[in-house]
Structure 1
Amino acid sequence: MRTKKISLSIISILFLLTGGFIQPQESMDKGVAAAPQSAVINEVAWMGTTGSYNNEWMELSNTTSSDLSLEGWTIEAQDGSPSIALSGSVPAQGYFLLERTSDDTISTVAADQVYTGSLGNSNEVLYLKDASGSVIDEVNSWYAGDNTTKATMERNDRSISGTDPANWSTSTASYEGGFGTPKVANSAVPSGSGSGSESLTNVSEAPGAINVYFNKSASTQYAMQGNEANYNVNLEDRLIERLNEATTSIDFATYEINLPRVVDTLMAKAAQGVDVRILADAKDGSDPHYAERYETMRLYLEKLVRGQDGIVGSADDAHILSDSPMFVVEDAVKRAAYDLPASFSDFPQRNVTVGSTATTGYMFVEGEWKETDSYYSPGNQMHNKFAVVDGKWVFTGSWNFTVTGLYGSEENMNQGILDGNQQHVVEVHSPELASIYKTEFEEMWGSGSTTPNHKVSNFSTRKVDNTPHTLTIGGDTVEVYFSSGDDAVGRMTELVKTEADENAYFTIFAWSDQALVDELKNKWEGSYVDNQGTLTGFDVKGLYDASFWNQWWSASIEMTGRTATQTSTNNPNTRWANPAPVYKANESRKLHAKTMLIDADTNSDPTVIVGSTNWSENGNNVNDENMLIIHDDAITNQFLQEFNARYVNAGGVVQ
């Protein structure tokens, strides 16, 4: 959603006046610059405990992925009490407990340090300073906590300022002294997730609206005026809300699906007479990484094929096609658990070849036809995750419609805890964009009706470039590319080469494309040559998913100046002479986004690249993917807020 935008001349003036960044007001009043938050004041028992009002305690949290020494650090109250010279260290992502006067303040948890000096019950201001005297974190009021129940004030999000009233909650977890969480995750924050209460402040239903949702935190102190990002968002709720608005059609492309509420919503819309068409990826059932999840998905998809009445071929059925055929799960116990009939003879028993494997089973979803009784293998991925609703809304991004993708576990899902992979979603109100996505959908679907034509359908490398790539949405230029066939990563490479002027920031799950990393190298240090170059002033920052940080083919190896353990024609390992400040992500689960920001917060066409496409040979030329390139300063700024939160959490410095 485009909102009011700050004049760049005003931003420039503020930038100069603040020495390169805008400081918290209290820090400016004291003449102390706010340093990057490597640690924060995470919880304060300003009210004491049920044992005594004198039993005050505080907890620090290390936000980085390395142990943090506190030697020379201090906690200082504005009124002088307490004033604590810290010592010791905080484990990576761990906690440091300070108990007042005695280690008996909390008898069941050992203090890391005992201090003296009391906290006031109101109007207290605390500063956490590093060994140089720089303010690392600040708390300027008791925004939460309860003196009656002795419930502590606990931080919701470590990447958001301690001076933000909305970033504090009253603890709901009981412990021996009342309510609090000494040396464990705060009650408002799932362990390792970094998420707190949902913030939805920038949503529009207007034609031309572009709404962006992040399931993790965002650093809204970097927002343009009136442009705070939507963060800690339950993406399932947003998807269901959009699907429920459908009156005529839903085209749904899913790499994987196992969210029962989404399945129930699709079934309900089909029963209401909405045309529900689903493209699904057929995973290799013999792959041990997917076997159980693949069975679960097939059970849910069979429910959709049967509809609410459980009868195949009736009016309330959803319609499904896959890149490779799917066969029913025959296990009687599992079928009963998903309320499926014990008999599945209403589907045809088929003897076919899938890839090069002879397969027999009851086929309930057709796949892309190769020749008589022969289908393509499930080895290539239909990796899209998008929905087109009523031919006017497009819902897309990096989020797979799965339990692990959003919640992390079924237990978390049942409790509404968002501890899944880091994700983003973009939804766009544009009939023109919806028509382009429909064309792509129907190229795979094989027809323009509710009945797919598996003999005409084309997935993967059988597709052609048959859609426009540029359109205007709400006054913004938006580009759209599909894989394979459209060379989406090639367009990214061209964009970096010809249009990036000042900066490029990225969060990426998997990146192996050499041409793209080489263009960024040339921007960074003015050379394409291995281990040569001089810094140009172009700013590069980035994060890689931890699982690919050390892979020999990953761009992370080159950008950090390391030598790969092996090379290939497509990955010659062109090392950067000047290592860039890129990091291994420090998320509780996967960093799953595929996002690059170009010239964010400048007047040089700020642009964000988003979607399902990993920057790799498979992502560009083999899998079925989609990518949006949005030329808009406000949308790019919202992605910058989320990027900064992830970057600081990984140990990066944002100025």
Structure 2
Amino acid sequence: MNARHRPRGWANVFQHLPVAVPLVVLLASCAENSRFVGQQQVAGPAAAADAISVYFNQRRQARYRSPLTGTMRQGDDLEQVLLDAIAGARRSISLAVQELTLPRIAQALVERHRAGVQVRVVLENSYSTPWSRQHPSELDDHGRHRWQRLHDLADSNQDGAVTQAERRAGDAVALLLDDGVPLLDDTADGSAGSGLMHHKFLVVDGREVVTGSANFTSSGIHGDAGAPNSRGNANHVVWIHSTALAGLFEEEFSRLWGDGPGGLEDARFGLGKGGGGSVRLRQGEGQLEVLFAPHSRRDGNNGLAFIERVLATAREQVDMALFVFSDQGIATRLEPLAQRDVNLRLLIDPGFATRNYS
């Protein structure tokens, strides 16, 4: 569908949403200039305008060869998008992501590090230990399940036995640490970990930002090893060329980084990070608004309150695609929209529908 055929209410509703919801930012910013590729397209973004490109790993109009099965599958290759961005770095890469397990991403970062590019990596502490240096008996159920997935993924020849060479080549975090790539996690502030380091972005040369919903994992992009019919969680990546936006993301990264590994405990995570308010930027003919979470619920800048205010402006249509929907304030805000005949469309992961916090 060409962007000019979308209901006008889509752009009107979402033109002020923050980069914390990258899909929404893209569609708002592309406005009338977006170009959706045709049914025969097998490469390239789903839409591109004003130096913004968006990719979806389960898009029907695109196909790529899965590194898990070697067969063609539908969707954009989000891993290749990340690899392309990393390969283009000439001065610096600042990467903050909750979980990184894709060896090719780690290898690309190592290559840039060896080439003299400043590479810095921030992970969530639950995922910052190399899996190949863990033993399943020392892990909880979730950790053992994750260890088995990564073990199976490292079995490159699929013979059921993982050699030492395969373990080394298949452990993304170990590859970074063994080559001296600077890396820290959210215990660098002196805490046991915030439990809130859910960033998924990288900044290249202070000019480009790649962000979105996907962790840099096989299950987040391609699917699970040993499960040839799996296609990964439904995710997207947005690639934005903007020195102003990159500057804001570098500021956020600096709050996380402090003075780096082994230095003072001056990194800041969670509520101690101090998210501040949103910042608006011009991007081509559109506008981006950036908000870095988390905030206290008492803080008027918090992201949920911001989204509620945006929803209150809706006149024609609201489309929402969410992994978890558990905030009563947003649900309450949607009710009067429905009463005003605003067209509401919600996609929510069914696994969370029956949870007590949903």
Could you tell me the TM-score, scaled by structure 1's length? 0.40
For 1:462, which of 262, 265, 272 is the aligned residue? 272
Equivalent residues in 2 for 1:289-368, closer than 5 Å: 289-291=142-144, 293=146, 299-307=171-179, 317-324=180-187, 367-368=188-189
Equivalent residues in 2 for 1:101-250, closer than 5 Å: 166=40, 198-200=42-44, 208-218=50-60, 232-250=75-93
Residue 446 (structure 1) aligned with residue 266 (structure 2): no
- The alpha carbon displacement at 1:380 in A equals 1.1
Task: Report the aligned-residue RMSD.
Answer: 3.1
For 2:330, which of 490, 513, 516 is the aligned residue? 516
> What is the rounded CA distance, in whole Å, between the counterparts of 1:504 and 1:547 in structure 2?
23
Please say if residues 103 and 171 of structure 2, whose CA atoms lie closer than 8 Å, have aligned partners that are also in contact. no
Task: Report the residue type matching 1:319 in the other structure.
Answer: P
Task: Report the residue type matching 2:267 in the other structure.
Answer: S
- The alpha carbon displacement at 1:243 in A equals 0.5
> What is the rounded CA distance, in whole Å, between the counterparts of 2:186 and 2:352 in structure 1?
27
Deviations along 1:270-296, one digit per CA (max 9) or x if unpaired, are 010111100000118844213463696
Deviations along 1:583-608, one digit per CA (max 9) or x if unpaired, are xxxxxxxxxxxxxxxxxxxxxxxxxx
> What is the rounded CA distance, in whole Å, between the counterparts of 1:5 and 1:403 in structure 2?
31
> 5+ residue gaps in structure 1?
13-163, 167-196, 221-230, 308-316, 325-366, 370-375, 526-535, 555-655
Residue 257 (structure 1) aligned with residue 72 (structure 2): no
Task: Report the residue type matching 2:122 in the other structure.
Answer: L
Task: Report the residue type matching 2:251 in the other structure.
Answer: T
2:212 aligned residue: 397
1:419 aligned residue: 231
More helix, by proportion: 2
Please say if residues 445 and 454 of structure 1, whose CA atoms lie closer than 8 Å, have aligned partners that are also in contact. no
Deviations along 1:202-222, one digit per CA (max 9) or x if unpaired, are 566x9x4110100112579xx
1:434 aligned residue: 246
> What is the rounded CA distance, in whole Å, between the counterparts of 1:462 and 1:201 in structure 2?
37
Secondary structure, counterpart of 1:290 in structure 2 = helix
- The alpha carbon displacement at 1:518 in A equals 0.6
For 1:543, which of 312, 333, 347 is the aligned residue? 347
Deviations along 1:410-435, one digit per CA (max 9) or x if unpaired, are 357xx8x8711111111110010010
More strand, by proportion: 1
Deviations along 1:27-76, one digit per CA (max 9) or x if unpaired, are xxxxxxxxxxxxxxxxxxxxxxxxxxxxxxxxxxxxxxxxxxxxxxxxxx
> What is the rounded CA distance, in whole Å, between the counterparts of 2:3 and 2:171 in structure 1?
48
> What is the rounded CA distance, in whole Å, between the counterparts of 1:281 and 1:478 in structure 2?
27
Please say if residues 440 and 467 of structure 1, whose CA atoms lie closer than 8 Å, have aligned partners that are also in contact. no
> What is the rounded CA distance, in whole Å, between the counterparts of 2:347 and 2:46 in structure 1?
26
> 5+ residue gaps in structure 2?
9-37, 63-73, 128-137, 152-169, 296-300
Please say if residues 220 and 232 of structure 2, whose CA atoms lie closer than 8 Å, have aligned partners that are also in contact. yes
Please say if residues 199 and 232 of structure 1, whose CA atoms lie closer than 8 Å, have aligned partners that are also in contact. no
> What is the rounded CA distance, in whole Å, between the counterparts of 2:207 and 2:282 in structure 1?
14
2:315 aligned residue: 501
- The alpha carbon displacement at 1:543 in A equals 1.5
Residue 472 (structure 1) aligned with residue 282 (structure 2): yes
1:277 aligned residue: 120
- When residues 492 and 201 of structure 1 are mapped into structure 2, their CA distance, relative to the original with a 3 A threshold, is closer
- When residues 512 and 258 of structure 1 are mapped into structure 2, their CA distance, relative to the original with a 3 A threshold, is same
For 1:388, which of 203, 210, 221 is the aligned residue? 203
> What is the rounded CA distance, in whole Å, between the counterparts of 2:221 and 2:124 in structure 1?
19
Secondary structure, counterpart of 2:111 in structure 1 = helix
Please say if residues 52 and 240 of structure 2, whose CA atoms lie closer than 8 Å, have aligned partners that are also in contact. yes
Could you tell me the TM-score, scaled by structure 2's length? 0.71
Secondary structure, counterpart of 2:291 in structure 1 = strand
